[in-house]
A and B are shown apart, each in its own frame.
Chain A
């Protein structure tokens, strides 16, 4: 940067500073550095629909379908209630473990596996803080305005758990069958299985980092990385003879830790 450039730059800074101040006094310019903030959600309620896919699956997989109702207290802050249902299942890995472990009779004492709870119905209330407002040039002259936000809240979820270790009625140990299927190799024909099941309602905490892209005045698309967190619970020191006889066995784990369900959410928002 030579002396000439420096002088021009200094003059430009002074000019633009004065210009901005004058314009702001005049009420033309907002104080925002991204001027012409087209979308101001403050004071508007909004309705959202979202679908969540699992980012990583271990023993369970969840697919969330949520409805949200939010009220924007400010442009950068909103309160939101979310509720929905998560379709869940055991992964192929969990099924493989359950089938092979039936025949592993050398393991007579063991602990239940962690993170096997599946969440279904759930509801949370939280706050959304969107300190970042920006715009991008997507292609040519299409304006895309967006907010980046953090979301945190809590609520309750209905949880269920199906063991992959404790089978109360072994049908075919070698084939790993623990249900009433009509043929050994036809898992789909089973109408009932004999794995130990539990259910409970537990507090749930949810946190998310997301982008909200505005489409016209009332519509928006949301992309989120969301974590659903709840306390795990499982039993330890299980005795094979007991569980295969249909008797309760073991004791609750002392410090079971937390279960995280990390989802990638894609959502639509309608602002009233």
Chain B
């Protein structure tokens, strides 16, 4: 019969809840939660001792339920869980009819989040300002502990969360632009603490129009380390949710959200633009040669971020975050070739000699700077001088790649 008992409890709670919201707002919310003493018990029903607030609000006294539930001492004390604090205390004063003003038989099993009046010497306020209700809640009553936000409707602890960010757009691109997609997995160890691992692939990473404008108009450009491009990154870290809240959109729909802060570390693969897209004219025919990038190696990656997670139901959420991927950049090799390698290659190119037999470092990918592209007829040897320029003055920088992450997640 447990289902019927549960339903009976709910049914019993309904009138009490309605009564509490509709009437007796000025009564101190002490009776049910309290067991504090004579002063903390509420009147059982409308009486000549009706407090002044009652007449001010012009509400009739609530009707006491005619049929007592199976557990009458408990049911009326059950606070509603539908909203914040401002609503909760007002429900408390309605003690069951069988509970006399001084009976002291208030239920002992008050929920943990029920408003509580300070025990002992806490006086029952008679000050009109303190008794003033704000939308049914005694916000100004110093004796009432008003909860601010309702219980979280959805618990995170122990849940797994898979987050897909289809669009990751860099927002601080002075010399670079990045657009990519990220996938994160989050395990919520506790309600406010989670572990996360994630990866990101930037399917567009190029130098910014601003940098190209500088090259074109004033023959200046960012140092190689300042315009390093991030191809992909992977990191692991933690995520905390220090606060949560709720909001209404146009007063029609409710959503719960959390502020999420994250931090982690990992590794990322970088590259640098060697040559932008150009037109190559060969024997009267023009070929469009795509931009060429040089590998600048893997770099240590740090990650910090923050944003909002708006939850819809138990299993779905939308995430809007800003994350900063921080990576150290020192550019002294491009495609594995250092300055000495480029000098040797350039000397051989100028003399129109083959590259075989040159004394190059083991990491130098010489094939990338030799030969002719069969489609665009572009001679790769022409890029040697551009690669040399990148490493001629080894540069270093700490780059902040701040991006806006918009994604959705599934919790399970």
A18-26, A78-86, A167-175, A242-250: which lies at the B interface? A18-26
Residues in chain A near residue B14, CB distance under 8 A: 15, 18-19
Q: Which of B3, B217, B252, B253 contacts A7 (CB 8 A)?
A: B3
Question: Contact at A28–B21, with CB atoms within 8 Å?
Answer: yes
Question: Contact at A33–B251, with CB atoms within 8 Å?
Answer: yes
Closest to A57 in B: B174
A15, chain B: closest CB distance, angstroms: 5
A23, chain B: closest CB distance, angstroms: 5
Which residues of A approach B to under 8 Å, CB–CB? 4, 7-8, 11-12, 15-16, 18-19, 22-23, 26, 28-38, 55-58, 76, 96-97, 100-101, 104, 106-107, 110-114, 131-139, 141-144, 146, 148, 164-165
- CB pairs A–B below 8 angstroms (15 shown): A23-B18, A29-B136, A32-B251, A33-B252, A33-B253, A34-B83, A35-B83, A96-B220, A107-B218, A135-B148, A136-B245, A137-B148, A141-B145, A141-B146, A141-B147
| Interface SS of chain B | mixed
B5-13, B102-110, B154-162: which lies at the A interface? B5-13
Residues in chain A near residue B6, CB distance under 8 A: 4, 7-8, 11
Residues in chain A near residue B7, CB distance under 8 A: 7-8, 11
Residues in chain A near residue B253, CB distance under 8 A: 33
Given contacts A56-B174, A136-B149, contact A36 B217 (CB under 8 A): no
Question: Contact at A110–B145, with CB atoms within 8 Å?
Answer: no
Q: How large is the interface on B (under 10, 10 to 19, 20 to 34, 35 or more residues)?
A: 35 or more
Given contacts A22-B18, A138-B243, contact A12 B218 (CB under 8 A): no
Question: Contact at A133–B247, with CB atoms within 8 Å?
Answer: yes
Counting residue pairs across A and B whose Cβ atoms lie within 8 Å, the total is 149
A-facing mask of B170-199, CB < 8 A → 1, else 0?
011010000000000000000000000000
Given contacts A15-B13, A28-B22, contact A97 B218 (CB under 8 A): yes
Known: A18-B14, A100-B220, A134-B246. 11 other contacts (CB 8 A): A11-B7, A19-B80, A35-B86, A36-B137, A97-B214, A104-B219, A112-B217, A113-B218, A135-B149, A136-B245, A141-B145
Residues in chain B near residue A28, CB distance under 8 A: 21-22, 136
**C-alpha gap A135/B150 in the complex (Å):** 10
B256, chain A: closest CB distance, angstroms: 9
Interface centre among B13, B174, B250, B257 (most CB of A within 10 A): B250
Question: Contact at B250–A12, with CB atoms within 8 Å?
Answer: no
Q: Does B82 contact A (CB under 8 A)?
A: yes
Residues in chain B near residue A18, CB distance under 8 A: 14
Tell me the residues in window 270-318 of chain B with beta carbons closer than 8 Å to chain A beta carbons: none
Residues in chain B near residue A33, CB distance under 8 A: 248, 251-254
Residues in chain A near residue B174, CB distance under 8 A: 56-58
Residues in chain B near residue A58, CB distance under 8 A: 174, 210
Q: Which of B2, B22, B146, B148 contacts A23 (CB 8 A)?
A: B22
Question: Contact at B246–A135, with CB atoms within 8 Å?
Answer: yes
A232, chain B: closest CB distance, angstroms: 12
Residues in chain B near residue A96, CB distance under 8 A: 220
Interface centre among B11, B137, B244, B245 (most CB of A within 10 A): B245
Residues in chain B near residue A139, CB distance under 8 A: 243
**C-alpha gap A36/B247 in the complex (Å):** 12
Closest to A100 in B: B220
A184, chain B: closest CB distance, angstroms: 21
Residues in chain A near residue B82, CB distance under 8 A: 16
